[in-house]
Structure 1
Amino acid sequence: MLLLSTPSPGFGAFIFSNRRNSLLLAAAVVIAVMKMIIFKHFFPYMDFTSDTGSYMETALQNRNYNLWPVGYSKFLWLFHQFSRSETMLAAVQFAMLEASAFFFYFSVCYIFNPQSYFRYGFYVFLLINPLFPFLSNYFISDALFLSLGLTWITLLLWVLHKPTTLLLVFHGVLLGYAFTVRYNAMFYPLVALIPILLSAYRPWQKIAAILLPVVLIVSFVIFTRQKTAEHSGVKIFSAFSGWQIMNNAMYMLQYIPLDSGGVPAQLAGTHKAVYHYITAVKKLPRKIAVSDGSYFMWDMNGPQKGMLRDYVLAHKDKDVYAGWSAVAPLCSEYGNYMIRKYPWDFTRYYLLGNAKLYLLPELEVLGGYNRPVINLVNKDVAAFFKNGDKPKPEGKYNDLQSTLMSLFPSLIVICHLLFLEETIRYLVKKGIRKTSRKFNVALLLCWVFIALNFAFSVFAAPIVLRYQVLLIVLLLGYTLLLTEITDAPLTSREEMETEEEPLMLGI
């Protein structure tokens, strides 16, 4: 039997009519239910972060603008129409994660037919993986975005295997929605180019598959700019990104000589505030590190929060979001100006530091239970959850969370090294000849995702463990697949000729 060949039954029959697969699915469902019951015994309350209040307020008011993408708030608004139970919200988020993960698992088993390492090794990982229940227990967008990401990757594999018009539409809509949940998805259409262009779609279908998510994303950007302008008077898409650019630039300012002038006139006031602030920061016992996250933009004594306070005092009729939007263009202009002026210092003190974090990300909120210390507006919590305003004390098992989560930064390093090593072995031992063209395209897809995810993470976003979970899943899954292929005997020429498609890269 040819390794990684496609079984003949349909996908439904493959899962439900095959005794082994139906047992694996039944066991996964039973264990998932038991895992969530046990988890909620140890961690009965949902956890909050500093972002939770904004998501909650936006959902309750069903607003079309926010500091964060509104897609998760829309999901929360829909959930709130049916339930006010925080246990139910955690269960729904966990169910979505498990469903998307096993959709990926069974799709890979169906399309590529692995027999050992992936089929059983990856299955065990999904069963015992503690990241999913912990992520599901947070009132933030991570669980939803990860579910969408896993489903999106799986749909791309189906694009390679069996492209249909319905799949084209489903992929485009899902990708468009993923962008509304987190802006990390902005590079996803570039990754999708690989399987779409190399699929069996007709030329017009390929064009439609490429354009549909782009049109949806552009439409969302235009819609958001308009709604922000209506509320704040500033036509801007993401206020947060402008603040983030200035924050990123300020890391290098701790290390370089800085005078109080020498900037364009429109930036003079901002630069003067930065100069005095950085002068004070340089006197601290230690430098502010990239691992401290978005430190400068959240520091109440920092220049950005100072500009926000000045705006709010001068515009009593505006809310804080309007202030963020009004300050954002100036933050963006100043940050970009300093980066252009000191490109090598920015590379040395920010980009290289962020690149190290990519391999060893901070635990951040996953390091412990945060709800007791998060200062949320009580009326919002009480309005969203039944008994939400009652105290939710830290449990006696909080150390268990930090212990389990501390294992994953090292796992990311190990997964990268193993994936690189197995890719090299795969090429050296002629793994390309042992499998199908579609698998080689799928492997290329994985490498493109890793490269673009690295670039986006290092240049444009803070790096923490919860943002890299999809990367862990893909690296582990593909490493197991590559190991299985590389260790298999070379297929004979007669067997190769019976395969329905050429067994070569074919790109």
Structure 2
Amino acid sequence: MAFTVRYNALYYPIISILVILLMQESIKTKIFLILMLLTPISLFVIYTIRTYKANTGITQFSTFGGWQIASNALFMYAHIPSPGATPIPKEFKELHDITIKHIDSLKHVKQRPDNELGIYYLWDDNAPLKLYMAQKYAHDTIPYLRQWALVPPLYKKYGLWLISKYPIGYARYYLLPNLRNYCYPPTEFLAIDNIYTDTVEPAAVNWFRYKTNKVTARSKDRKIIFTELFPPILTIINLTFFLTFIFFIFSRKFRLVDPYYRKTVIIVALVWISNLIFSVFASPIVLRYQLFSLIFTFTFSGLLVMSIIENVTKRESHPL
């Protein structure tokens, strides 16, 4: 289910397969369980590819991937002080020229729209990716959705080319800022009621069965202050999990606990590390992307803390 809602769940099947392989079951049972796991996912992938093909004429699983890779790379490239002269492959020249002109224009802006990692290079009509698409299909009658689906292969190659040329810059201007966002994720849209508007789209009216497209807010400025509590809470939860896990694996109890419990702790840590790596590399992190991580890490942080307290209590009750 999570896989169909958001592609942050792409690595979940890998974790599930690892858990199945660690089970004390026969090889036939393990193969059966893995097939049961992969079958619905495979059907969803096939369905998505066919749907894209039917609507855009292009065979691909996710058109969004190419846009995202290029966007991540542009956040990096736009902040490199002196990228230097680099031979530009012919297929990227037109797009790169637009990028250079855009970056030059940002030097004259007091408040740059790309100061923080976000959606600027993905969705802004004045950013290079949207500009290139608009210019390329300016005199074409191709529907917008098909235009949007035609450019990702080029954007993916362009983004990977920029990253390969400036790997250190990518680490400094994209990965490190995104790692900070993982530790303290921006609230983004969750802190604003209906994105400062008092109306909703017809689709929302139909879905929620509203009587009108007008919506109200509890606060005059439409800010949801409550959500501002979650970034520091998530920071504390992640730090607690990391410290308690390190303490636990280096403690005597880790060697003495039930093997199943030990495997569970290792798998939990693997999920946490996988989520961190995938999140940092995939796209700019915001709070709404980390809700699963918040619930998951909070639960197992509590279990680890209780385990450590129990261990300390036993030591005090039975001193050597």
- With normalisation by structure 2, the TM-score equals 0.87
> Which residue of structure 2 aligns with residue 49 of structure 1?
none
Q: 1:373 to 1:250 in 2, by over 3 A?
A: same
Residue 227 of structure 2 corresponds to 405
In the alignment, structure 1 residue 484 sits paired with structure 2 residue 309: no
SS in structure 2 of the partner of residue 474 of structure 1: helix
Q: How many residues align?
A: 313
Distance 1:290 1:422, change over 3 A: farther
Q: In the alignment, residue 407 of structure 1 is paired with which amino acid?
A: L
2:90 to 262, 265, 273: 265
Of residues 129, 142, 152, the one that matches 1:304 is 129
Mapped to 2, the partners of 1:397 and 1:439 lie a distance apart of 50
Alignment of 1:45-444 (within 5 A): 177-256=1-80, 257-258=82-83, 262-289=87-114, 291-310=116-135, 312-316=137-141, 318-370=142-194, 373=197, 377-378=201-202, 380-387=203-210, 389-396=212-219, 401-402=224-225, 404-432=226-254, 435-444=257-266
Task: Describe the superposition over 1:260-283 as per-residue Cα deviations: whole angstroms up to 9, x where unpaired.
Answer: 872111111111111111111233
* Alignment check: 8 A CA contact 1:367 1:406 kept: yes
The 1:375–1:298 alpha-carbon spacing in structure 2 relative to 1, beyond 3 Å, is farther
1:271 to 1:200, Cα distance in 2 relative to 1, 3 A: same
Give the CA deviation at 1:479. Answer: 2.1
1:300 and 1:491 map into 2 onto residues whose CA distance is 61
**Do the aligned partners of 1:251 and 1:288 also contact (CA within 8 Å) in 2?**
no
The superposition leaves residues 168-199 of structure 1 with CA deviations (integer Å, 9 ceiling, x where unpaired) of xxxxxxxxx33222111110012113321121
Matched to 2:105, the amino acid is A
**What secondary structure sits across from 1:407 in the alignment?**
helix
How big is each residue's C-alpha offset from its partner over 1:48-105, in whole Å with a ceiling of 9 and x where there is no partner? xxxxxxxxxxxxxxxxxxxxxxxxxxxxxxxxxxxxxxxxxxxxxxxxxxxxxxxxxx
Q: Quote the Cα distance in structure 2 between the aligned partners of 1:337 and 1:445.
A: 35
Residue of structure 2 in register with 1:51 after alignment: none
Please report the TM-score for the alignment, with normalisation by the length of structure 1: 0.57
The counterpart of 1:447, out of the listed 269, 273, 295, is 269
Q: Following the alignment from structure 2 to structure 1, what is the Cα–Cα distance between the partners of residues 190 and 201? A: 22
Q: Distance in 2 between matches of 1:396 and 1:214?
A: 46
Letter in 2 for 1:364: E
Which residue of structure 1 lines up, in the alignment, with residue 317 of structure 2?
Answer: none
Q: Is 1:358–1:458's contact at 8 Å kept on the other side of the alignment?
A: yes
Query: 1:246·1:331 contact (CA, 8 Å) conserved in 2?
Result: yes
| 222 and 287 in structure 1: CA distance in 2 versus 1, 3 angstrom threshold | same
Q: In structure 2, the residue corresponding to 1:467 is in which secondary structure? A: helix
**How big is each residue's C-alpha offset from its partner over 1:234-276, in whole Å with a ceiling of 9 and x where there is no partner?**
2222111111111100112223335787211111111111111
Percent same amino acid at aligned positions?
A: 29
The amino acid of 2:207's aligned partner reads F
Closer, same or farther in 2 for the Cα pair 1:466/1:382, shift >3 Å? closer
Change (3 A) 1:278 1:314: same
CA distance in 1, matches of 2:132, 2:219: 42
In the alignment, the residues of structure 2 paired with residue 352 and residue 371 of structure 1 have an alpha-carbon distance, to the nearest angstrom, of 28
Partner of 1:456: 278
CA distance in 2 between counterparts of 1:255 and 1:188 reads 33
Using the alignment, how far apart are the partners of 1:354 and 1:187 within structure 2?
19
**Could you tell me whether the CA contact under 8 Å between 1:270 and 1:303 is conserved in 2?**
yes
| Aligned CA distance change for structure 1 residues 262 and 427 (closer, same or farther; 3 Å) | closer
Deviation of 1:202 after TM superposition, in Å, equals 1.6
* Superposed displacement of residue 486, structure 1: 2.2
Q: Which runs of 5+ in 2 are unaligned?
A: 315-320
Give the superposition deviation at 1:491. 12
CA contact (8 A) 2:120 2:127 kept: no
Q: Quick check: 2:75–2:114 contact (8 Å CA) kept in 1? A: yes
8 Å CA contact retained: 2:15, 2:271: yes
Q: What displacement does 1:410 show?
A: 1.1
- Structure 1 stretches of 4+ moved >6 Å: 397-400
Residues in 1 aligned to 2:130 and 2:199: alpha-carbon distance in whole angstroms: 18
Distance (whole Å) between structure 1 residues aligned to residue 57 and residue 246 of structure 2: 54
Does structure 2 conserve the Cα–Cα contact (< 8 Å) formed by 1:261 and 1:271?
Answer: no
Kept in 1, the 8 Å contact 2:78–2:103? The answer is: yes
Q: 1:462 to 1:336 in 2, by over 3 A?
A: same
Look up the SS of the partner of 1:370 in the other structure.
helix
